[in-house]
């Protein structure tokens, strides 16, 4: 009986293309390395020395993905920005405990690997790592034919940081009268895209090429704006101000994220209209299709990160954050009441 030979490439995995992708990635990855990285690319594990003076160092870890925002990247065939989203979703999370980022790992899975597209994805990741002052210490690119459609992929990220145990920020010291300082988002960031896609592409029958005068860009450009990374600004703030609690505004919006740092018996009263809302949110609101509770329970609505400080630290907090290039607003105050969030009119 004659048996035809079969190769890995015929099964859908192109090892040579994978090797070419790695070569294209190397330059970007090395740009993130610092003096704590030991060795070079290509080892089975990444090595990093733990430098700095810590009385009791605690590692803080977080993992996340980009979600269905990737569908917009597929539609636009634009792959150089979602990597920053991946880093931001992880590193902004660990920042909330006061952690200084140490390193990042990524995982990229695709149906059929295209070296140039994979390199663009990693470039976006390295852009985010540089904004976070941490190396991309390692990663994995998996070609999985038959599992993903050609041209599509998924990404996962893993960030690890360190904080001295005495400096962990938990929110447990928040008290009535403390103030919520909001840092502006760059737009939708990476949350709520299932609702966004349903609204724009299904209900309104728009495409990524649709130009929206109220926003001043095409829909695709607005939706692919990368998530803002707050690491440098917040670490600068922590050098001078005792921040009591911090919130990364991700999925679940105001109603799920803010209560995560509130001690029992305290409520966050958020003042509507106290910050400048990005045009994309103004436009979505103006359509009248999504109710207010769903908007504030899904999106960041223009506030990407929140620091909770004492009243006496408000002025200094705003001064430091503005000097770091942040757009900052006093968005509310902590009060006694059932743990949760109340949206109040000015």
Looking at the structure, tell me whether residues 192 and 331 fall in a common domain: yes
Band of pLDDT at residue 1, cut at 50, 70 and 90: low
Whichever domain contains 329, its CATH number is: 3.90.650.10
Per-residue pLDDT tens over the stretch 5-33: 777 887 788 888 888 888 888 888 888 99
Same domain, 161 and 222: no
Least confident of 140-154, 258-272, 307-321: 140-154
The CATH number given to whatever domain includes residue 56 is: 3.30.1330.10
Separation of alpha carbons 198 and 279, rounded Å: 19
CA-CA distances (angstroms) from residue 35 to 31, 32, 53? 12, 10, 16
Are residue 295 and residue 324 in the same domain, yes or no?
A: yes
- What pLDDT sits at residue 150? 84
Residue-averaged pLDDT of the chain: 94
151/205 same-domain check: no
Say if 4 falls within a structural domain: no
**CA 13 vs CA 8, 110, 142, 242: distances in Å:** 6, 10, 9, 52
Section 257-266 average pLDDT: 95
Q: How confident is the model at residue 252 (pLDDT cuts 50, 70, 90)?
A: very high
CA atoms within 13 A on the CB side of 333: 9
Q: Do residue 322 and residue 201 come from a single domain?
A: yes
Q: Is residue 235 part of a domain?
A: yes
Indicate whether 96 and 201 sit together in one domain.
no
Distance CA 244, CA 170 (A): 7
Total number of domains in the chain: 2
The pLDDT value recorded for residue 3 is 67
- Residue 24 has what pLDDT? 84
CA distance 300 to 305: 9
Whether residue 172 lies inside any domain: the answer is no
Share of the chain above pLDDT 70, in %: 99
pLDDT tens profile 78-114: 999 999 999 999 999 999 999 999 999 999 999 988 8
**Same domain, residue pair 67 and 212:** no
What's the pLDDT score for residue 127?
A: 97
Q: Are residues 329 and 235 in the same domain?
A: yes
Q: Are 22 and 145 in a shared domain?
A: yes
Q: Containing domain of residue 272, as a range?
A: 179-345
Are residues 210 and 321 located together in one domain of the fold? yes
Of the residues 136, 167, 198, which one is the last residue of a structural domain? 167
CB 254 within 8 A of CB 327: no
DSSP-assigned states of every residue in 32-94 = T--TTEES-TTSSS-EE---S--SSEEEEEEEEE-TTHHHHHHHHT--SSHHHHHHHHHHHHH
DSSP states of 156-205 as a string?
EEEEEEEEEGGG---STT--TT-EEEEEEPSSSTTS-HHHHHIIIIIIS-
**Confidence (pLDDT) at 16:** 84
pLDDT at position 2 is 65
Residue ending a domain, choose from 126, 145, 167: 167
DSSP codes of every residue in 95-122: HTTTPEEEEEEEEEEESS--HHHHHHHH
Residues 225 and 77 both lie in one domain: no
Are residues 193 and 158 both part of a single domain? no
**pLDDT tens-place string over residues 189-244:** 999 999 999 999 999 999 999 999 999 999 999 999 999 999 999 999 999 999 99
Predicted pLDDT at 25: 82
């Amino acid at each position: 009986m004659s048996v035809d030979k079969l190769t890995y490439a015929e099964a859908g995995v192109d090892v040579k293309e994978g090797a070419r992708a790695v070569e294209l990635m190397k330059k970007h990855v090395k740009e993130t390395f610092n003096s704590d990285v030991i060795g070079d690319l290509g080892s089975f594990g990444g090595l990093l020395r733990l430098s700095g003076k810590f009385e009791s160092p605690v590692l803080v870890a977080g993992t996340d993905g980009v979600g269905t925002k990737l569908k917009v990247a597929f539609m636009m065939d634009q792959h150089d920005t979602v990597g920053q989203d991946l880093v931001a979703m992880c590193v902004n999370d660990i920042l909330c405990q006061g952690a200084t980022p140490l390193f990042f790992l990524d995982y990229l899975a695709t149906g059929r690997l295209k070296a140039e597209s994979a390199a663009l994805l990693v470039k976006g990741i390295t852009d985010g790592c540089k904004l976070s002052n941490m190396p991309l210490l390692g990663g994995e690119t998996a070609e999985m034919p038959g599992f993903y459609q050609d041209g599509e992929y998924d990404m996962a990220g893993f960030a690890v940081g360190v904080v001295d145990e005495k400096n962990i920020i938990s929110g447990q010291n928040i008290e009535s009268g403390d103030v919520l300082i909001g840092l502006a988002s760059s737009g939708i960031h990476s949350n709520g895209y299932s609702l966004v896609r349903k609204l724009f592409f299904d209900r309104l029958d728009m495409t990524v090429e649709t130009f929206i005068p109220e926003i001043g860009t095409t829909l695709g450009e607005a939706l692919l704006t990368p998530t803002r990374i707050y690491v440098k600004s917040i670490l600068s703030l922590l050098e001078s101000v005792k921040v009591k609690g911090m919130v990364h505004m991700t999925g679940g919006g105001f109603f799920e994220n803010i209560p995560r740092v509130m001690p029992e018996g305290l409520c966050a009263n958020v003042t509507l209209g106290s910050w400048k809302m990005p045009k994309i949110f103004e436009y979505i609101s103006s359509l009248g299709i999504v109710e207010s509770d769903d908007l504030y329970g899904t999106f960041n609505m223009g506030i990407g990160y929140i620091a909770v400080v004492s009243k006496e630290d408000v002025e200094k907090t705003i001064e430091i954050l503005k000097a770091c290039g942040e757009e900052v607003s006093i968005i509310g105050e902590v009060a006694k009441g059932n743990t949760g969030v109340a949206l109040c009119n000015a």
